[in-house]
């Protein structure tokens, strides 16, 4: 009983029960309407037959006389069937017909009546059952009586026992159908509810395993491609994303602990050296300058982390507006032109004019700064030749494409996706200053604006490609 109560509390079982109830009520009403209409149609057919025969008898009496009418009544009375016929004189006394006992009221007053009657069995004694030795046939008649033009009385009707028997058959079939519909609905509803609950139980069991700590569990997906498979696919995609975020969080924590340990150690050593009694004033000033420089680098690292976190959390709706991205790219390239020239690096630009997108101006500008600074670090080829950075902006297939390419040593293909993660620095860049957060911030800005960041081969060097949806 407790298990049934638990199952009944589920929305699936309740909805299934509601559907079954609606279906049963509708089916019962439909079958009742069909049965009622069938009975009405039979009754209407009998009434039409009576009226038709009345009109025929009246035409015979008018055109051929009373003898022809008497012959027609006598011939029809001798035939087996549900027909009721009575022909009487002006006083209502029986002359012809298969019914002799017609109530006086029916004969005297023209109209439509119903009464019990007895009439001779037209099939004879052999057709009468052994327990019914008489030749009388009992029944219930619906008749119409009229007065002929010569004053004689004519009663024509139909036996309705067969009609009531047919109605009883309809009622019996109706009851059997109702019982069948109820049983079929209960079985079908039970099977449907069980299948739905099994799929839901599968999702619940998977979520329980995930909450216990097994993040690799996924909701099973069948080959039916129904709404449960669509839900399972979305849940699995969400779980994949959560697992990636948790893995990224773990890697970030490990990288923060690893990359911040060295500067913090240097800070402590410099502070300890400055506190020694034997330290000169000059060494103490130098130690303080080193502490300040290391602190600035740490602050920059944390500021970059905070900005990435804010970007990944999503910019406020009011922070996005229509901006001229051509001006932003051109301004950043022009700003870093003199710095690159001092480093012996040439910056070449090819920027389409008046390209606008809906974005955050500050974030787009910061992304361009990060891309140019990253390119300037590695723009010099390994053979010592002069460096070169190509900055371009164009539109293609409704998307805005920004490219920053250098002719440096490049990035191996296997590492191009990994460098977009936080604190990831390749071995060749360990000697350079930085925290490994520049490309991570650019990638976060691209995702915020519905775009992508791809690292491609520039042969030689690296090409960073930012793509945003156009207007």
pLDDT single digits (tens) 277-300: 676 778 778 878 878 887 877 777
Residue 433 has pLDDT above 80, yes or no: no
Q: CA 334 to CA 205: how far, in whole Å?
A: 59
Q: CA 313 to CA 302: how far, in whole Å?
A: 16
Average pLDDT of span 347-369:
87
Q: CA 248 to CA 303: how far, in whole Å?
A: 18
Q: Return the H-helix or E-strand segment holding 118.
A: strand 111-120
Using the Cα atoms of residue 201, residue 205, residue 210 and residue 215 in order, give the sign of their dihedral. Answer: negative
> Which is it for strands 345-351 and 387-396: parallel, antiparallel or unpaired?
parallel
Output the CATH code of domain 317-469.
Answer: 3.30.565.10
Confidence of residue 129 (pLDDT cuts 50, 70, 90): very low
Among 35-44, 193-202, 258-267, 325-334, top mean pLDDT goes to 325-334
Q: CA 206 to CA 194: how far, in whole Å?
A: 18
Instruction: State residue 128's pLDDT score.
Output: 44
The tokens describing 98, both together, are 């298969």
Residue 306 has pLDDT above 60, yes or no: yes
Cβ atoms of residues 201 and 219 within 8 Å: no
Residue 1 has pLDDT above 80, yes or no: no
Output the CATH code of domain 64-159.
Answer: 3.30.450
With a CB cutoff of 8 Å and minimum separation 6, the contacts of 62 are 149
Summarize pLDDT for 366-419 with one digit per residue, the tens.
888 888 988 888 777 666 677 889 999 998 888 899 999 988 888 887 777 777
Global confidence as pTM: 0.47
Query: Among 1.10.287, 3.40.50, 3.30.379, 1.10.10, what is the CATH number of 228-310?
Result: 1.10.287
- For the chain, helix (H) and strand (E) counts, in that order, are 10, 12
Cβ atoms of residues 85 and 97 within 8 Å: yes
Three-class SS of residue 103? coil
- Point out which residues pair with 406 in neighbouring strands: 389
Summarize pLDDT for 176-191 with one digit per residue, the tens.
877 887 788 778 777 8
Confidence of residue 251 (pLDDT cuts 50, 70, 90): low
Q: How many C-beta neighbours within 10 Å does residue 19 have?
A: 15
The tokens describing 354, both together, are 């008046």
Residue intervals of the chain classified under CATH 1.10.287 are 228-310
Average pLDDT of span 162-166:
70
Instruction: State residue 327's pLDDT score.
Output: 92
Q: CA 70 to CA 57: how far, in whole Å?
A: 9
Residue intervals of the chain classified under CATH 3.30.450 are 64-159
Q: CA 150 to CA 204: how far, in whole Å?
A: 91
């Amino acid at each position: 009983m407790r298990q049934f109560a638990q199952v009944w509390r589920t929305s699936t079982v309740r909805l299934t029960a509601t559907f079954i109830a609606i279906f049963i009520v509708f089916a019962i009403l439909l079958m009742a309407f069909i049965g009622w209409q069938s009975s009405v149609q039979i009754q209407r057919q009998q009434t039409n037959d009576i009226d038709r025969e009345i009109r025929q008898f009246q035409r015979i009496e008018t055109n051929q006389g009373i003898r022809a009418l008497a012959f027609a009544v006598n011939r029809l009375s001798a035939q087996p069937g549900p027909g009721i016929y009575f022909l009487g004189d002006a006083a209502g006394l029986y002359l012809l017909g298969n019914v002799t006992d017609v109530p006086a009221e029916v004969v005297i007053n023209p109209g439509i009546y119903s009464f019990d009657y007895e009439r001779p069995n037209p099939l004879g004694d052999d057709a009468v059952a052994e327990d019914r030795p008489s030749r009388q046939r009992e029944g219930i008649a619906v008749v119409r009586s009229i007065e002929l033009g010569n004053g004689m009385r004519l009663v024509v009707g139909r036996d309705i026992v067969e009609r009531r028997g047919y109605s009883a058959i309809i009622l019996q079939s109706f009851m059997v159908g109702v019982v069948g519909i109820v049983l079929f609905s209960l079985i079908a509803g039970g099977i449907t509810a069980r299948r739905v609950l099994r799929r839901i139980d599968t999702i619940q069991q998977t979520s329980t395993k995930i909450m216990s700590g097994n993040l690799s569990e996924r909701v099973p997906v069948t080959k039916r491609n129904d709404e449960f498979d669509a839900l399972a696919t979305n849940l699995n995609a969400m779980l994949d994303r959560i697992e990636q975020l948790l893995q990224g969080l773990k890697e970030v924590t490990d990288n923060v602990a690893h990359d911040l340990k060295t500067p913090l150690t240097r800070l402590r050593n410099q502070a300890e050296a400055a506190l020694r009694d034997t330290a000169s004033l000059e060494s103490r000033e130098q130690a303080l300058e080193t502490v300040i420089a290391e602190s600035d680098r740490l602050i920059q690292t944390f500021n970059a982390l905070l900005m990435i976190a804010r970007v990944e959390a999503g910019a406020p709706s009011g922070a996005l507006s229509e901006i001229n991205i051509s001006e932003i790219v051109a301004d950043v390239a022009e700003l870093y032109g003199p710095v690159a020239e001092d480093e012996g690096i040439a910056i070449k630009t090819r920027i389409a004019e008046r390209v606008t997108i809906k974005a955050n101006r500050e974030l787009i500008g910061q992304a361009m700064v990060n891309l140019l600074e990253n390119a300037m670090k590695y723009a010099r080829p390994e053979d010592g030749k002069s460096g070169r950075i190509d900055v371009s902006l164009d539109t293609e297939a409704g998307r805005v494409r920004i490219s920053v390419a250098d002719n440096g040593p490049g990035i191996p293909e296997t590492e191009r996706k990994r460098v977009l993660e936080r604190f990831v620095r390749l071995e060749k860049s360990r000697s350079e200053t930085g925290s490994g957060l520049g490309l991570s911030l650019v990638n976060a800005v691209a995702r915020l604006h519905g775009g992508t960041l791809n690292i491609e081969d520039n042969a030689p060097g690296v090409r960073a490609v930012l793509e945003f949806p156009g207007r």
